[in-house]
Structure 1
Amino acid sequence: MTEPRSPDEVAAGWYIFLREEPDDRDLRRQFEVWLRESPLHQQAWTEINETLGVLASVPPERKKSPGMGRRNGSMPANDRVGPRRVRMASFAGVAIAACVAAFVLVPDLTLRLRADHYTQAGVTEDIHLADGSEVILAPRSALAIHINADERRITLLRGEAYFVVHHDPSRPFTVTTGSVTTTDIGTAFDTRTEGGETSVAVREGAVHVSGTGGLPFERDLHAGDRIDVKGSQVEAGSQSPETVGLWRDGMLVAQGNTIAEMVTALQPWTRTHIIIAHDTLAARRVSGSYDLRHPETSLQLIVHPYGGKVMSVTSWLAVVAGR
């Protein structure tokens, strides 16, 4: 249902990691395989070099950060690699800051202006609405609330939320995610939206799901039913009702999901930006249960059986590569 990270994101990860591990031949080999896989990869690599090359050209005095040097401001004369490491750390810090600003901070600021509730990585929020309904907001999610005497309308701007709705026939309870609207018929259900994709799954009761604009469809979902919408494609499926919304208990269950999908599910639970740098590995399918409260360990457990290796660049960035 989800796709691997964009070529630009993967290229940014390779750029930083190759400079921190310049003598790692296996890493270089994996990078060259990735580079040859697609002209888009080559284009992204060229662009990231040009962009971060501009950052590298900033005068050294403007790239220094407090506390980076030694306490006495000097360096032993026989520490030949010291200056190189300091320059590398300074440059990596600038590059990582640029990536974070491009992929995280700017979109988040926009969401915060639109949202009534917003959660950060690894944090959930219980929201008790005035009508008696309850919303549990997943990490890195945002929603806007509009409730008055005539209607109850929620807009899920990003991420995932679990709804336990107090049924009121006189005031329909609707949740809008992009071009998909879910109307409660007395239920507990989960909905998720990310990157133009929307999913709705019902744990109890029933909902009515409909599309708007260029996505004309209508369907009733009951306990165990789910629907996945990606672009103009609408796919119906089913799952055990008790597995709907298990993330509330810190559990991630895979039932033949791709590693790319699992990484997407793990991402909101960690501040570390995860990049998959191996397309074949991203497409491998896994099954099992994983602990969302320990996303780094879960990531290792997901990729290791398939030859995957998680390389931690910094606390902000991890690259998943294949052997």
Structure 2
Amino acid sequence: MTRSRPLSPIEEAASAWFMRRRERASDADAEQAFQAWLAESPRHRQEYERLAQVWEDMASLPRPAAAPARAPAPPRPARRPALLRWSGALAALVLIAGAAYQYLPVSYESVANASTQTRSLDMPDGTRVHANVGTRVSVRYTLAERRIDIDGGEVYIDAASDRRPLVVSAGGAELRDIGTEFNVLLLPDTLQVGVRSGQVMLDASGADGPKEHTLRAGDTVLLARAGGHLLGRQQVAPGEIGAWQDGVAVVHDATLQQLAGYLALYRDAPVRFADERARGLRLSGTLDLRHPEAFLDTLPGLLPVTLNRRPDGSAVIASR
């Protein structure tokens, strides 16, 4: 069973304002306070409009057939004080039901690619999700949001516009986007995000440094998964982002350890290092991902290293 996640403070505030406005439509002071709350952040308006849409969706659901009419019961004395006592509880129950309803899945896909397999998903809203080799990703759509969870590997997302936000979770970080193209690479030690077009908001929860990053076309960031701190930020040609779909990868001043982590997606056996110096050597250029083994063979001619291939398929890089 999938548990519903708890509401965020913004979602709770949006829900409270929604119920209050339904009960007190003529309260001018409350309306002024509500407009001030909306103006505090674009997220406030987004969450409120999402809840309003969910309410409309619930109202449009078919209702069960009415029970046969019965003879009217004798009138009972009014018990307004008791009803008033229960009105708050009833509103809370409606609120909880609406909050839970908006996260019921309406579409679900999952991918687990082998080291020689790629796959693309065409979602109902027009979003395309391209999963690279060695990638594990799941896509879950609800009435309230579109969510993509990346467990490992590389995913290129061509997001379509929709009233629901698109949230991408990878390595403890979250990305929010509406109508853009971006690439997410999640390796055991690092998270790299690059934007080809549009804009993405990256929230690295628990980061040691700045946790929020705004990325635009050509921006790439590299974060450490441990602590979420920023390792590097670059501006590259937008066409380089997601180039793995054409069988190449363009790297700028990447360490051999980073390249080894990336090549692990394309190999069944790992690439290891004999010493720390070899891990930290840096390289820039274009990798032909269709022949990852050939790239490894050329390393001794590019850098002061040796390459030792083991019978189990693993490769060991040592400095010389």
Which structure has more relative contact order (CA 8 Å, sep 6+)? It is: 1
Residue in structure 1 matching 2:309, options 309, 312, 316: 312
Cα shift at 1:214: 5.6
Cα shift at 1:238: 1.9
Aligned-partner Cα distance in 1 for 2:249–2:128: 22
> Given residue 315 of structure 2, which amino acid in structure 1 is its aligned partner?
A
Residues 6-43 of structure 1, C-alpha deviations (whole Å, 9 max, x = no match): xxxxxxxxxxxxxxxxxxxxxxxxxxxxxxxxxxxxxx
Cα shift at 1:224: 0.6
Please state if 1:233 is matched with 2:226: no
Aligned-partner Cα distance in 1 for 2:122–2:182: 16
The verdict on how the C-alpha distance between 1:123 and 1:315 changes in structure 2, with shifts beyond 3 A counting, is: farther
Residues 61-92 of structure 1, C-alpha deviations (whole Å, 9 max, x = no match): xxxxxxxxxxxxxxxxxxxxxxxxxxxxxxxx
The verdict on how the C-alpha distance between 1:307 and 1:257 changes in structure 2, with shifts beyond 3 A counting, is: same
Aligned-partner Cα distance in 1 for 2:125–2:254: 37
Residues 68-122 of structure 1, C-alpha deviations (whole Å, 9 max, x = no match): xxxxxxxxxxxxxxxxxxxxxxxxxxxxxxxxxxxxxxxxxxxxxxx82111113
Aligned-partner Cα distance in 2 for 1:285–1:182: 28
CA RMSD of aligned residues (A): 1.9
- Give the equivalent residue in structure 1 for 2:282: 285
Aligned-partner Cα distance in 2 for 1:141–1:225: 23
Aligned-partner Cα distance in 2 for 1:243–1:282: 24
Q: What are the equivalent positions in structure 2 for 1:54-93 lying under 5 Å apart?
A: none
Please state if 1:180 is matched with 2:166: no
Cα shift at 1:288: 1.7
- Give the equivalent residue in structure 2 for 1:321: 318
The 8 Å contact of residues 269 and 293 in structure 1, kept in 2 or not, is answered as no
Cα shift at 1:196: 4.5
- Give the equivalent residue in structure 1 for 2:120: 126
The verdict on how the C-alpha distance between 1:290 and 1:226 changes in structure 2, with shifts beyond 3 A counting, is: closer
Name which one, 1 or 2, has greater alpha-carbon Rg. Answer: 2
Residue in structure 1 matching 2:218, options 218, 221, 224: 224
Cα shift at 1:213: 4.5
Please state if 1:192 is matched with 2:185: yes
Aligned-partner Cα distance in 1 for 2:145–2:314: 43
Please state if 1:210 is matched with 2:210: no
Residues 218-257 of structure 1, C-alpha deviations (whole Å, 9 max, x = no match): 2321101122221241243322111111111111222221
The 8 Å contact of residues 136 and 150 in structure 2, kept in 1 or not, is answered as yes
Moved more, 306-315 or 127-136: 306-315
> Given residue 249 of structure 2, which amino acid in structure 1 is its aligned partner?
L
The 8 Å contact of residues 263 and 299 in structure 1, kept in 2 or not, is answered as no
Structure 1 length-normalised TM? 0.60
Count of aligned pairs: 208
Please state if 1:139 is matched with 2:136: no
Q: Give structure 2 stretches of 5+ with no counterpart.
A: 1-108
Q: Give structure 1 stretches of 5+ with no counterpart.
A: 1-114
The 8 Å contact of residues 187 and 262 in structure 2, kept in 1 or not, is answered as no
Aligned-partner Cα distance in 2 for 1:315–1:123: 21
The verdict on how the C-alpha distance between 1:219 and 1:281 changes in structure 2, with shifts beyond 3 A counting, is: closer
> Given residue 285 of structure 1, which amino acid in structure 2 is its aligned partner?
R
